Amino acid sequence: MTLINPLAAANTLVPAAATINLRESRDQHLRRDQVVRATVAEGGLEKAVLQLGGRKFLVETETPLMTGQKLSLQIVESPEGVELRLLTFSLSDRVRQVLHLAGQSFDLLPLLEELAAPNHPLAGTLSPAARDALQGALLFFSGQTEGTEGRFLKSLARVLGLDLEQRLQQNPTAGHLANLKGAVLELLDRVQGQNNPTADRIRHLHQLIEATQIFRARLNEDGFLLLPLPFSFLDYGYLLAERHPSGNGDRSRSDGMLSLYLQLSSIGVLNINMLFDQRGLTLRIRTESRQSMEFLEGYRDELEQRLQPWRLSGLNFSSDATTPQQHLVNLLSGGRSPVFDTRV
């Protein structure tokens, strides 16, 4: 059980720490054992500021809290006054809460182009770090950033801020706004209470980033690495990496599977499964229609030639693709897509 001890109302801080008394609790319509939702207005390792209803409270906690984090709290009474019990949910519970966001597109580029404009009303209100993060994300997702494939994919998670909390835990003094999620957290504060398309898109982007972090944590339990691909040339897509024993009794090595699950306006659903083992690379391309499959098969010779540096050992086509959205939901729900042998 984790308890968060309120010290004082943040807008009336006093030198001596004080607890929230029962009268203040009644003013907030708080009841014993009631569960309420709060937002971390200012994060911290030992002290933080929570926004609860229309008021902010400075609290003392043994649990590190991050700015923008949503909390579920239960009201409990103690001899000192009111305490807030932090309710922890399992990862599966959190996945169920945001599962409806699986398969929704980030649609990043139009929003980034709008926010990065120097004459945008929000531009002058942001910190230099947030402005730099938005500009960096715009360059990255508009294809103006160079790099090898491996370095590019590693940079993708960092640019989006999918590792923000992990980096802050390792180094709390790090510049946490040097990524898109950090900038979005600052933007959320600027558009609080606003009801317009830009504010709605910022709030939706924040939801998608946090949902993706939860999905990544859940799939990591099953040995998968999820990486969203929020690029303008894709309607929706992600990369899924999986490592598994090689099956030859040698535990010192493992084979690897990389899969792309894509939705494109031109050819529809596309699944690309790449198996790397001692034989080299085996590639299976799956489409949702026979017409699309035959179209891609017309490029077989060119594909085989380009993939020879990876020791291509097999190239197969089929028309039994699974939509990226359905595949992701199946994995998050504990199910797995039918197993196939790419070497057939």
Instruction: Transcribe 160-193 into DSSP letters.
Output: HTTTHHHHHHH-TTS-TTSSHHHHHHHHHHHTTT
What local confidence, expressed as pLDDT, does residue 248 receive?
53
- CA angle, 32 then 33 then 39, to 5°: 100
* pLDDT score of 7 more than 70: no
Q: With beta carbons less than 8 A apart as the criterion, state whether 168 and 174 touch.
A: yes
> Model pTM?
0.70
What local confidence, expressed as pLDDT, does residue 144 receive?
75
> What are the structural domains of the chain?
19-88 (2.40.50.140), 91-222 (no CATH), 233-343 (3.30.750)
What local confidence, expressed as pLDDT, does residue 298 receive?
95
Tell me the mean pLDDT in the region 79-107: 80
Tell me the mean pLDDT in the region 115-143: 88
Tell me the mean pLDDT in the region 248-253: 47
* pLDDT score of 183 more than 50: yes
Tell me the mean pLDDT in the region 288-297: 95
* pLDDT score of 131 more than 50: yes
Percent of the chain residues past pLDDT 90, beyond the cut: 40
Highest mean pLDDT among 10-24, 138-152, 211-225, 326-340: 211-225
* pLDDT score of 175 more than 80: no
Kindly report which listed range (207-211, 263-267, 335-339) carries the lowest average pLDDT score: 335-339
Percent of the chain residues past pLDDT 70, beyond the cut: 74
DSSP, collapsed to helix, strand or coil, labels residue 331 as helix
Mean pLDDT of the chain, nearest integer: 79
* pLDDT score of 197 more than 50: yes
What local confidence, expressed as pLDDT, does residue 165 receive?
67
Q: Please write down the long-range contacts of 200-208, taking CB distance under 8 Å and 24 or more positions apart.
A: 201/107, 201/111, 202/111, 205/106, 205/108, 205/111, 206/68, 206/181, 207/98, 207/101, 208/101, 208/104, 208/106
